[in-house]
A = this chain, B = another copy of it.
């Protein structure tokens, strides 16, 4: 057996920022080399960011990605890092494919390259293209059909190790590069990933990685992206397992990290390069390249070159609520930062939704960057103002108060003989607040955050162009019952650390109300949220039909009512801003329904 030190660089890159992402790859390779790593693995499409969507179809962007990859290889060599094998994802194209109907323009590839000795020594592309949930890759890519195996000399010995490269979805589907890795006899399979967070997915991923390591008969190094990108939050959580599936190291969740570990690997023996039945109806060609032995740079002073090949490091795991909260904070922080904003603005009502959003924002970018507006109307309760003021004081936010009644009245005057009552009158108040948010945002340059939760969004319990107006909705994928749980968890965490609870307990405990009409409560229009959320989970996440929902124990009248609300709210949801995705079926990219449709689950048939 020979010893190889590997580093998984789970970094936070930005879509389209080729220069910035290139700097990240060079910088983190330098850090990995200083800790003695001879191979460094970066995430899928680390140089372009992920997902690039229609940018993949633009020739100038593909050209730029290929160019920056070569520049990075040269820069690494110039910096004395040419002896480190760097595996990084980027965007490439397959030459020689004639345009035809259905072929993505320019035949783009979701590619990975091995950089060594100042050169791009071998490239490959993702074989299995996901086209479900948040993924649309048949639109954008043509599949790869090779398995690259690079032979890396072990310094000071005559041995070398064979290292294969697969990409993300290649692990999730049967057959393909994993199966061919066993055939190729590689002792290590490195896998760049861009796998977005969902609640509970970390357990699924570990099982998968363990199973695929056993199938490949190789140590498996799974390096995942970190960071928010529009609605997606990549959680890192990189994994290293032995060929028998035993966990060897695991990175942190929701933060950048360099996971450095020593591996004991069998030396390279095989030399076959051939087309192999990939077990999925396709042929995959094994492409081999032997890397020259290039000296690595000196280690950092505090690194022990003779570290034992013991398992680790293992970062501590977050529990479920901590995980969700971290996803919301990272998703919000990155949306603000990557879109060039420095501050946010939101309407504070005294209720729990805006209190939690303000807290997430303060945790994401600092309370001094969070601006709030209290906008009481004549239906606002006393506690709506006092609870909001309490929150401002606990967290040190920038607050201002703008009373809306005179503005609402001026609309009523202007409308003249169309006196508004009921829902139109309620919506008017919400829209006046939306206009004020946008006016202050336009004037001062804040990103407006919306405060709607998933239960409201699902049932249409919000005002289009009113409370739904804004650039980002931090809790748009969080059901109301989870809003409460997160708020309690956040307060308890603060108290346990000897700090002030950030959220006023009264905002958590009082019955929810939109306060758009006298004495209004959410329960006037909606069922109890614990009952509602359970039903929404079965209808929206699990796609149960009405018969199944009733069989699962939901009240038939409630099933009919809620399904009607959810089906009719489709248009409103399309106009909702993006927000961090934490579930299987966030409204938006991964749930798509016609606006115009007469299908109702409650109809007979």
Contacts and interface: CB of A to CB of B under 8 A. Distances in A.
B411 A596 contact: no
Q: How many identical subunits does the complex contain? A: 2
A232 to B, nearest CB: 10
A236 interface: no
Contact of A18 (B64, B415, B605): B605
A591 interface: yes
A51 B335 contact: no
Nearest to A16: B599
B435 A59 contact: no
A128 B105 contact: no
B465 A594 contact: no
A465 B434 contact: yes
A271 to B, nearest CB: 31
Contact of A594 (B15, B131, B592, B601): B15
Contact of A418 (B18, B131, B334, B440): B440
Contacts of A423: 442
B598 A545 contact: no
Nearest to A437: B465
A521 interface: no
A399 B203 CA distance: 61
A272 interface: no
Given A58-B543, A543-B59, A406 B410 contact: yes
Task: Name the residue among A17, A68, A435 with the largest chain B CB count within 10 angstroms.
Answer: A435
Contact of A101 (B173, B598, B603): B173
Given A14-B596, A339-B595, 9 more contacts: A20-B598, A53-B594, A58-B545, A67-B605, A228-B596, A402-B416, A410-B410, A431-B438, A578-B595
Contacts of A319: none
Contacts of A19: 603, 605
A55 interface: yes
Contact of A411 (B407, B428, B605): B407
Interface string A44-78: 00000101111101111101100110000000000
Residue among A424, A439, A471 facing the most chain B CB atoms (10 A cut-off): A439
A410 B410 CA distance: 7
A594 B438 contact: no
Interface in A188-213: none
A567 to B, nearest CB: 9
A404 to B, nearest CB: 7
A60 to B, nearest CB: 3
A132 interface: yes
